[in-house]
């Protein structure tokens, strides 16, 4: 039995770095893990998707459509693009931030009106995580990656701080580490509020 | 030590541990990280060669002097190296020589999907096919001793799903290079492949083939696993092994790691114990054809995807069809989302080039391989053909010669990058020059191999080089692609000149260390009239904020678009400002 996590976004958003952190945290927690990379043309502003699988023993590295327990989408339309990979009991963490490419702004294609609403209509469990907006509020859009991982942490079967330690490990002890720590914690707080709100709604 | 490595990193690590001393490669997805990794390890001379043939020859030269050597390339790179490769199949190698080739299954970043295992058959080389990073590591280590034992280069065939998937593996220390192997003595009969030596080499090759078949039959890399399930047994190599294990964990499987020469006895043994044998191989039905020819009844391609990666659901569907069972239905995509084709980077010097090429409505533009291939797309649509590395010049030459004498001839241009020009463009330019073909060559010099991640290319004087190849110095022009008006003037002059000319467009790649970012630009709303000319630049930093349609008094409808410049992306290159007729784009 494996746990499959799909991390998606566009070139330059740190999708591969985020996937790597999850895979390494899984290894640290004693699981076997695989992670796929994407390179070449897709990096030039194109679609980027990295697949992480972990469990006692992982065979194929590719996630089956309909099998991902967690879909982490760094961009709204990308969340929609990959949503058929989600398992019926899976969850989407979706940044509602929109990256509108020239192919859309030039009028050749249409950006989906409300990707989050479409996912909900399709019956998917979705948590909107404003990672990009939070990162900008923290002073650097590049922190979105850490915000999103913070939001993902409670959904992963690792000890509380395993993913956080893995994310921060690559930044040493300097200012970058403390900013990413703040971003990670902000992400975790976002998702906790969400879950509490969700419970209140149900009550 | 336990590490989490991609197949490329692992293959490099295995080669390093085996004491490899020389590594030469030309970058290409999905193989690039092999040399990048080796370059970071001690005790290895590693270089980006000018092309794959040079890289193979360099590695072979090192092998001749008793040093273990590796070369790495993508599948189409081996086509370039193949002339020398064919001879190496005859003369063999001395110190261990490994050719790591990675096939882009699913052609995510290539002009085709190609099965490098054919080279093993064509050149009579042993082929090792790792299923994952752990095997890439271990096989790379083994490959050198196989190479030395049989005095033959070994083909280490990787694919995207091996090269670019990370898995854990245990690494060890480096075996010290064997100094007693070092040294060189002339051996004309062996290394000079004149016709009088060929006959003997062919005989020796036949003996080697027999010895390799024995080795493969007993290799630890070929394993027959007897499963409890006996309806369908599988013959599988490469990353598809894990797919078979995932989809059919209880099946009997012949796992081919040393896949050429084929271990026929193991295949017969598998076939004897199951009702059907399914060969699971990506790209071409090669093993399937060979097993059937050897009298082992197997199936495969008929039930499996004809190209691209074979996934577990695809394999399950194939087996269900083979057995006449109902197929599992895949979840449907909720909505078709717009495509995100790759774009040039904001500030890319190629945008200045394509801004003009996109406006040459009657020219033929032969393209080449690199980031500048993107000129074939929106908004420029400035390309007629892209064939292979260096092919722009040869194709342009032929078209120009065919057009010659035709009064209504279209101007013929070729667009080629610096790395690609050095890779395989030079012979064609010498041909253009000496045959006096009326081709205008745009040599885009951004100082790196950009598409594969910015590998350095040799720094040399391209103006002198192309003049030395025979282009008249008056027809060799240097331009700055950011300077739109000056660039266009030169472009017009050289298209008009009835002889070969070369325009060298010089600017460093925005991702290279030489690139200097300037202050971001912004649109001055009150000056902008929505003419949308800036959108013809194709810069991803410029996006449309609103559109309108206006009917003129003449009845003509004019489309207008207002734009915004994303300051975080903008590099201040000023190309859009120069394209703007209203002076509405200024530093922010």
Check pLDDT > 50 for residue A202.
no
Q: How many domains does chain B have?
A: 4
Are both B203 and B173 inside the same structural domain?
Answer: yes
Instruction: For B530-562, write each residue's pLDDT tens digit.
Output: 999 999 999 999 989 888 988 888 888 888 999
Instruction: For B243-273, write each residue's pLDDT tens digit.
Output: 999 999 999 999 999 999 999 999 999 999 9
Check pLDDT > 80 for residue B331.
no
B334: chain A residues, CB-CB within 8 Å: 80, 83-84, 118-119, 122
Are both B153 and B68 inside the same structural domain?
Answer: yes
Instruction: For B176-197, write each residue's pLDDT tens digit.
Output: 999 999 999 999 999 999 999 9
Check pLDDT > 60 for residue A199.
no
A77 class by beta-carbon count within 10 Å (0-12 exposed, 13-18 middle, 19+ buried): buried
Are both B456 and B483 inside the same structural domain?
Answer: yes
Closest approach of chain A CAs to the CA of B530, in angstroms?
13
Interface of B with A in 178-217 (CB under 8 A): none
- With respect to residue B330, please indicate whether it lies within any of the assigned structural domains: no
Are both B210 and B130 inside the same structural domain?
Answer: yes
Check pLDDT > 60 for residue A201.
no
% of chain B with per-residue pLDDT over 70: 99
Instruction: For B458-492, write each residue's pLDDT tens digit.
Output: 889 999 999 999 999 999 999 999 999 999 999 99
> What mean pLDDT do residues B512-518 have?
92
Residue of A nearest to B533 (CA): A106
Count H helices, E strands: chain B?
20, 24
Are both B154 and B15 inside the same structural domain?
Answer: yes
Q: Is the CB of B246 inside 8 Å of chain A's CB atoms? A: yes
Q: Is B575 helix (H, G, I), strand (E, B) or coil?
A: helix
Are both B152 and B274 inside the same structural domain?
Answer: no
The answer to whether B44 and B74 are in contact (CB under 8 A) is no
- Residue A116 tokens read as 């989050």
- The whole-angstrom separation of Cα B31 and Cα B455 is 13
- The whole-angstrom separation of Cα A153 and Cα A5 is 12
Domain with B302 in it: 222-322
The answer to whether the predicted template modeling score (pTM) of the entire model surpasses 0.90 is yes
CB contact under 8 A, A109 and B338: yes
- The whole-angstrom separation of Cα B173 and Cα B18 is 9
- The whole-angstrom separation of Cα B544 and Cα B566 is 11
- With respect to residue B329, please indicate whether it lies within any of the assigned structural domains: no
- Residue B35 tokens read as 């040399």
**CA nearest neighbour of B157 among B260, B86, B85:** B260
- The whole-angstrom separation of Cα B491 and Cα B494 is 5
CB contact under 8 A, B109 and A41: yes
Closest approach of chain B CAs to the CA of A20, in angstroms?
9
Count of CB atoms situated within 10 Å of the CB of B583: 11
Specify the CATH number for the domain of residue B32.
Answer: 3.40.50.970
The answer to whether B509 and B515 are in contact (CB under 8 A) is yes
B166: chain A residues, CB-CB within 8 Å: 20, 23, 34-37
The answer to whether B213 and B95 are in contact (CB under 8 A) is no
- Residue B551 tokens read as 């009917």
- The whole-angstrom separation of Cα B318 and Cα B285 is 15
> What mean pLDDT do residues B151-173 have?
97
Where are the strands (E) in B406-537, listed by range?
A: 412-417, 439-445, 448-449, 455-456, 476-479, 501-506, 521-523
Q: Which residues pair with A88 in a beta bridge?
A: none
Q: Buried b / exposed e across B358-370, counting CB within 10 Å, b at 16+?
A: bebeebbbbbbbb
The answer to whether A134 and A183 are in contact (CB under 8 A) is yes
Looking at residue B336, the DSSP 8-state letter turns out to be: P
Task: Give the pLDDT confidence score for residue A203 in this predicted structure.
Answer: 42
Return all residues near A150 (Cβ < 8 A) that are at least 6 apart: A164, A183, A184, A185, A186, A187, A188, A189, A190, A191
Place of tokens 């394509």: B354
Q: Is B296 helix (H, G, I), strand (E, B) or coil?
A: coil
In the sheet with B412-417, reading across from the earlier edge strand, the strands are: B364-366, B412-417, B439-445, B501-506, B476-479
Q: Residue B73's pLDDT band (boundaries 50, 70, 90)?
A: very high
Q: Residue A43's pLDDT band (boundaries 50, 70, 90)?
A: low
- Residue B14 tokens read as 């295995």
Are both B448 and B568 inside the same structural domain?
Answer: no
Q: Residue B419's pLDDT band (boundaries 50, 70, 90)?
A: very high
Specify the CATH number for the domain of residue B272.
Answer: 3.40.50.920
Nearest-CB residue to B29 (from A39, A60, A104): A39
Check pLDDT > 50 for residue A95.
yes
- With respect to residue B415, please indicate whether it lies within any of the assigned structural domains: yes
Instruction: For A161-185, write each residue's pLDDT tens digit.
Output: 999 999 999 888 889 999 999 999 9
Domain with A97 in it: 2-202
Listed range (B135-144, B296-305, B453-462) with the worst mean pLDDT: B453-462
- Residue B165 tokens read as 């998937």
Distance of CA A30 to the CA centre of its chain: 22
The answer to whether B429 and B493 are in contact (CB under 8 A) is no
Are both B8 and B50 inside the same structural domain?
Answer: yes
The answer to whether B235 and B270 are in contact (CB under 8 A) is yes
What is each CA distance from B199 to B193, B205, B231, B287, B412, in whole angstroms?
10, 10, 48, 29, 47
Task: Give the pLDDT confidence score for residue B412 in this predicted structure.
Answer: 97
What is each CA distance from A97 to A9, A150, B168, B460, in whole angstroms?
11, 17, 34, 45
ipTM value of the model? 0.94
H or E segment and range at residue B102: strand B97-103
Place of tokens 């057009």: B403
% of chain B with per-residue pLDDT over 90: 88
Task: Give the pLDDT confidence score for residue A27 in this predicted structure.
Answer: 96
**CA nearest neighbour of B333 among A70, A4, A65, A75:** A65
Last residue of a domain, one of B322, B338, B370: B322
Are both B205 and B242 inside the same structural domain?
Answer: no
Average pLDDT of chain B, as a whole number: 95
Task: Give the pLDDT confidence score for residue B342 in this predicted structure.
Answer: 84
CB contact under 8 A, B334 and A41: no
Q: Residue A198's pLDDT band (boundaries 50, 70, 90)?
A: low
- The whole-angstrom separation of Cα B49 and Cα B30 is 17
- The whole-angstrom separation of Cα B444 and Cα A52 is 39
Q: Is the CB of B374 inside 8 Å of chain A's CB atoms? A: yes
Last residue of a domain, one of B217, B236, B263: B217
Specify the CATH number for the domain of residue A12.
Answer: 3.40.920.10
Task: Give the pLDDT confidence score for residue A44 in this predicted structure.
Answer: 67
A77: chain B residues, CB-CB within 8 Å: 337-338
Q: Which one has a higher pLDDT value, B16 or B454?
A: B16
Q: Is the CB of B587 inside 8 Å of chain A's CB atoms? A: no
Q: How many domains does chain A have?
A: 1
Task: Give the pLDDT confidence score for residue A39 in this predicted structure.
Answer: 61
The answer to whether B214 and B106 are in contact (CB under 8 A) is no
Between vectors from CA B466 to CA B464 and to CA B468, what angle results, nearest 5°?
A: 65
Distance of CA B230 to the CA centre of its chain: 40
- Residue B376 tokens read as 């074939």
The answer to whether A146 and A95 are in contact (CB under 8 A) is no
Are both B9 and B97 inside the same structural domain?
Answer: yes
CB contact under 8 A, A106 and B161: no
Are both B449 and B426 inside the same structural domain?
Answer: yes
Are both B300 and B404 inside the same structural domain?
Answer: no
- With respect to residue B110, please indicate whether it lies within any of the assigned structural domains: yes
Closest approach of chain B CAs to the CA of A121, in angstroms?
10
Q: Which residues pair with B238 in a beta bridge?
A: none
């Amino acid at each position: 039995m494996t746990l499959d996590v799909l991390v998606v976004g566009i070139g330059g958003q740190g999708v591969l770095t985020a996937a790597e952190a999850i895979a390494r945290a899984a290894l640290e927690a004693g699981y076997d893990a695989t992670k796929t990379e994407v390179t070449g043309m897709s990096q030039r502003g194109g679609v980027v998707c990295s697949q992480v699988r972990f469990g006692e023993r992982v065979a194929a590295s590719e996630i089956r459509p309909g099998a991902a327990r967690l879909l982490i989408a760094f961009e709204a339309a990308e969340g929609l693009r990959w949503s058929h990979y989600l398992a019926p009991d899976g969850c989407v963490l979706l940044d509602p931030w929109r990256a509108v490419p020239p192919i859309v702004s030039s009028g050749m294609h249409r950006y989906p009106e409300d990707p989050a609403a479409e996912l909900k209509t399709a019956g998917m469990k979705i948590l909107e995580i404003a990672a990009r907006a939070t990162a900008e509020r923290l002073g650097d859009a590049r922190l979105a990656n850490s915000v999103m991982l913070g939001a993902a942490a409670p959904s992963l079967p690792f000890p509380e701080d395993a993913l956080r330690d893995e994310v921060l490990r690559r930044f040493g002890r300097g200012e970058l580490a403390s900013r990413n720590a703040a971003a990670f914690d902000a992400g975790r707080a976002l998702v906790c509020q969400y879950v509490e709100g969700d419970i209140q709604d149900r009550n | 030590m336990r590490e989490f490595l991609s197949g490329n990193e692992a293959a490099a690590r295995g080669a390093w541990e085996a004491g490899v001393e020389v590594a030469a490669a030309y970058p290409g997805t999905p193989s690039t990280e092999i040399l990048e990794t080796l370059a970071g390890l001690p005790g290895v001379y590693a270089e980006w060669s000018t092309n794959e043939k040079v890289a193979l020859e360099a590695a072979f030269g090192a092998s001749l002097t008793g040093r273990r050597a590796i070369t790495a390339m993508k599948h189409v790179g081996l086509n370039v190296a193949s002339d020398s490769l064919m001879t190496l199949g005859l003369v063999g190698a001395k110190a261990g020589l490994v050719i790591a080739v990675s096939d882009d299954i699913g052609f995510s970043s290539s002009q085709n999907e190609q099965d490098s295992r054919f080279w093993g058959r064509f050149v009579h080389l042993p082929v090792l096919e790792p299923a994952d990073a752990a095997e890439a590591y271990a096989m790379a280590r083994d490959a050198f001793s196989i190479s030395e034992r049989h005095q033959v280069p070994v083909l280490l065939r990787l694919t995207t799903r091996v090269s670019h998937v990370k898995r854990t593996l245990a690494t060890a220390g480096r075996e010290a290079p064997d100094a007693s192997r070092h040294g060189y003595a002339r051996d004309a009969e062996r290394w000079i492949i004149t016709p009088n030596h060929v006959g003997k080499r062919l005989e020796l090759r036949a003996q080697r083939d027999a010895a390799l078949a024995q080795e493969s039959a007993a290799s630890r890399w070929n394993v027959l696993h007897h499963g409890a399930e006996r309806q369908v047994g599988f013959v599988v190599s490469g990353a598809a092994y894990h797919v078979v294990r995932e989809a059919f964990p209880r099946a009997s499987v012949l796992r081919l790691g040393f896949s050429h020469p084929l271990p026929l006895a193991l295949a017969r043994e598998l076939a004897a114990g199951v009702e059907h044998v399914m060969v699971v191989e990506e790209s071409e039905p090669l093993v399937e054809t060979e097993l059937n020819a050897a009298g082992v009844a197997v199936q495969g391609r008929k039930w499996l995807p004809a190209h691209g990666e074979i996934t577990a659901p695809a394999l399950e569907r194939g087996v269900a069809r083979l057995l006449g069972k109902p197929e599992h239905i895949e979840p449907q995509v909720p909505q078709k989302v717009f495509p995100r084709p790759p774009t040039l980077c904001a500030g890319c010097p190629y945008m200045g080039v394509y801004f003009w090429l996109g406006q040459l409505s009657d020219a033929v533009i032969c393209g080449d391989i690199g980031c500048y291939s993107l000129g074939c797309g929106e908004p420029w649509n400035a390309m007629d053909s892209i064939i292979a590395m260096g092919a722009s010049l040869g194709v342009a030459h032929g078209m120009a010669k065919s057009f010659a004498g035709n009064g209504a001839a279209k101007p013929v241009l070729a667009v080629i990058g610096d790395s690609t020009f050095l890779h395989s463009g030079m012979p064609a330019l010498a041909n253009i020059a000496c045959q006096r073909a009326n081709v205008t060559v745009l040599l885009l010099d951004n100082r790196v191999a950009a598409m594969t991640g910015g590998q350095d290319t040799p720094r040399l004087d391209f103006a002198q080089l192309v003049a030395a190849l025979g282009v008249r110095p008056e027809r060799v022009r240097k331009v700055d692609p950011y300077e739109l008006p000056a660039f266009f003037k030169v472009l017009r002059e050289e298209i008009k000149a009835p002889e070969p000319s070369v325009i060298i467009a010089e600017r460093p790649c925005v991702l290279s260390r030489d690139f200097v970012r300037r202050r971001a630009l912004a649109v001055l709303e009150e000056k902008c009239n929505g003419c949308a000319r800036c959108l013809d630049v194709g810069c991803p930093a410029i996006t449309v904020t609103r559109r309108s349609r206006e009917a003129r008094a003449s009845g003509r409808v004019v489309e207008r678009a207002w734009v915004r410049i994303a300051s975080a992306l903008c590099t201040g290159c000023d190309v859009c400002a120069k394209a703007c007729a209203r002076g509405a784009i200024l530093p922010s």
